[in-house]
Chains A and B, each alone.
Chain A
């Protein structure tokens, strides 16, 4: 790799088609406005003339002799009876008319100016100069020329030319016909063209006024045969019919000396048709319509906008062998699987190449037809199509399956329906990171939805409130292999975003693991059997005899899904805030840390920190020590185990969870009253000018900051009071403390006090003149008037509080809406900039031209998925693990 750029666009040249050129490339001069005759055969010299290509099988192109797929199509031409201007060049025509002399055609610049600009232009290198700079230069030149009202060359007085949008020019209240425009443009000398920004070797200004119109090849505007046998022509053909008709009538009227008025009307009509042929959304004229009233889709409409060629066809492509439907959860599937409804599986196919080795198998498959079921009436894969070596597809039906199965030979391709174990890609938009598209193996299920394990919600950012997802069936062996090796869910457990697991237990999984391990509860043999029946058991937990009964410990049950040889120690989420190694939520101080030795959970509570997505310490360490297979197996069994436990336990939350004693309610009320009084005193101080400002703040800002401090304090205080009465026996608290869902803050909002509402980080300060609502006095800046909510959700908010709460809530929604669109666009730009960078064999990052972007990937050569949250190794873990390994 020492050579430089392989291919690079050197330059792009823009030119105009000359009438001569149009005639030269035309294979036929179209003179008849008709398409087909009564027998359905193209009319000669009509719009469907065979010289312009063929679209019907069997016919041959009259120009190149090619058949449907061989003939590329050829242009024809229409001679217009009178010239018309080209809408696409209106601005340029105006510029030429403005800046050139109406009599002699020279640019209205003095000889000195011409010399001067010539010099300036000759200094520019047109092939490498930024086109924008050239554009600005010509704009300056033509502006100067347009301003002059007497021609410096012939001395003729000029008059201003007005453009009546879209296509009519007017000079001294008299219309300038396209013919006159053309004549004027013709007079402009070649050597002046450079000043208008036109390249004299490829273009002439008068070519912007059309005298002859190219007719696009037939395969650009194919006609469709409807089921009724009726022919329907393309919109472009319709438009061309109009143009030829009017051109014809105009020619006749002109030749037989019709009144000028009629000729002018027809001329305008021709101009209208040609204009709408190019752009049917030209401002100032009504769009040409189809008989049904639908606006015609002409040339510009084919390219422009969301449904145009660029955005719809070139940037966005549709794909076959894919399916989309609603998603729903299925805890009994592995994280590597996806449940596909039968209906979808019957439509999706995998191509199977027939060889002598699989011939009998494939023939058997084809014989089963397109909708087979096995002996127990379960789904089994059939065949939808077989493809002969010549590429012809044969549709398999119940009737022809037997017969066709005999025809299949090595070299044929059989499109087999999806079956269990096939590997497919599964995707949820927006695809913001690589885990948005992962490979799953197929399980065929009943119903109408795609289903997957809940642990995979996080990477896809999916929930089940109506989300839909896409599924793609891989069609090639190589792609299947790649997907299996690098795209399987288990290979994507580690996120490159933060070097930890992005897959883990959510909601009930966390709750269940918490219930199973917190304070190491005892379970009866029956209960244990129920829980363990959800997983395939390898290591049996050892029972304890308590009061003569066989009992099992929760941590031992959990240990049965841990791999042998796992050693680790970490602080659980529950005990994150523990001081001096003593956790207030654990009965045994030893449980502050989770310790696992040789795959046995010895102390601690398994919660979000251990098995959740993002944090998932246990998942992280299993992945690193035992690999992806073991990690995915752990997640599978952990999620199943939690379903087993929680279905035994029964877990729910209700309004009772937030009951606190009467005196606690009173106490909270008291502190809120105190706070309001404190704020009032603060305001009084401020009014009397006794308030001292904080450094760098105005007095007003200082007041606001102090008030916000007080409101924050009361909220925390009330939260503390409320939660002191809410122990770990309450489901809502279990969820908050274990990290399953919600925070303690949310609970204290329900039970204690909602607290100060804010907009943009400050108290609510908007609405009416000097007050938030008419219920308050002007300039009232006390707590209740600025959005302090002293009620709890449970006790209910008063109307004013409710209103402030809605203001605060709205800000959150607006924030999200703004943030997603902004960050989405930013990410899109980044992705487009980086999309073709590649890491080469020597770990250098290069672009497609081979230029180096980084000398080592990431400048450190570290794969972030394998890094420990950005660090190379976790020394503490290694010490623990190696210490335990050494003892063995």
Chain B
């Protein structure tokens, strides 16, 4: 049975893979190193769903999450894909 694409669920915000070129720009804009970004487990359902579409995602890839908000319209969030368990 085909897995349900969690990204299609109305409560799951939009997840996008950020490409290498853009990644550099984002980090420069934020004036920050990658380690300081929030993380997302590579086993997270949303990452798996992205992998179903785009093929394997490497650790260290930045994911852009676009959330809809009553007050802010949209709010953009970034996470770094990380393997291993959270402590």
Contact = CB atoms under 8 A, between A and B. Distances in A.
A871 B36 contact: no
Greatest chain B CB density within 10 A among A3, A850, A854, A855 is at: A855
A852 B37 contact: yes
Contacts of A872: 71
**Residue of A1, A860, A870, A872 ringed by the most chain B CB atoms within 10 A:** A860
B38 A852 contact: yes
> In terms of DSSP, what is the predominant structure of the interface of chain A?
loop
Interface in B65-87: 67, 69-72, 75-78
Contacts of B36: 4, 846, 849-852
B59 to A, nearest CB: 17
Contact of A861 (B35, B72, B77): B72
Contact of A852 (B32, B67, B71, B75): B32
Contact of B72 (A846, A851, A852, A860): A860
Interface in B5-42: 30-33, 35-38
B38 A4 contact: no
A448 interface: no
A855 B78 contact: yes
A2 B32 contact: yes
Contacts of B37: 851-852
A860 B32 CA distance: 20
A860 B71 CA distance: 6
Contacts of B35: 4-5, 851
Contacts of A846: 36
Contacts of A862: 71-72
Contacts of B78: 855
Contact of A859 (B32, B33, B77): B77
B31 A856 contact: no
A850 B75 CA distance: 21
A867 interface: yes
A853 interface: yes
Interface in A860-883: 860-862, 867, 870-872
Contacts of A2: 31-33
B38 A851 contact: yes
Contacts of A5: 35
A278 B72 CA distance: 60
Contacts of B31: 1-2
Contacts of A870: 70-71
B33 A4 contact: yes
Given A2-B33, A4-B33, A859 B38 contact: no
Contacts of A859: 67, 69, 72, 75, 77
B33 A860 contact: no
Interface in A641-698: none
A871 to B, nearest CB: 7
Contact of A871 (B38, B67, B71): B71
A5 B35 CA distance: 9
Interface in A42-86: none
Interface string A1-39: 111110000000000000000000000000000000000
Closest 10 CB pairs of A and B: A860-B72, A860-B71, A859-B75, A851-B36, A862-B71, A4-B35, A860-B69, A850-B36, A2-B33, A852-B36
28 contacts: A1-B31, A1-B32, A2-B31, A3-B33, A4-B33, A846-B36, A849-B36, A850-B36, A851-B35, A851-B36, A852-B30, A852-B32, A853-B38, A854-B77, A855-B30, A855-B76, A855-B78, A856-B75, A859-B67, A859-B77, A860-B69, A860-B71, A860-B72, A861-B72, A862-B71, A862-B72, A867-B71, A870-B70
Given A846-B36, A851-B36, A855-B77, 10 more contacts: A2-B31, A3-B33, A4-B33, A849-B36, A852-B32, A855-B75, A859-B67, A859-B69, A859-B77, A867-B71
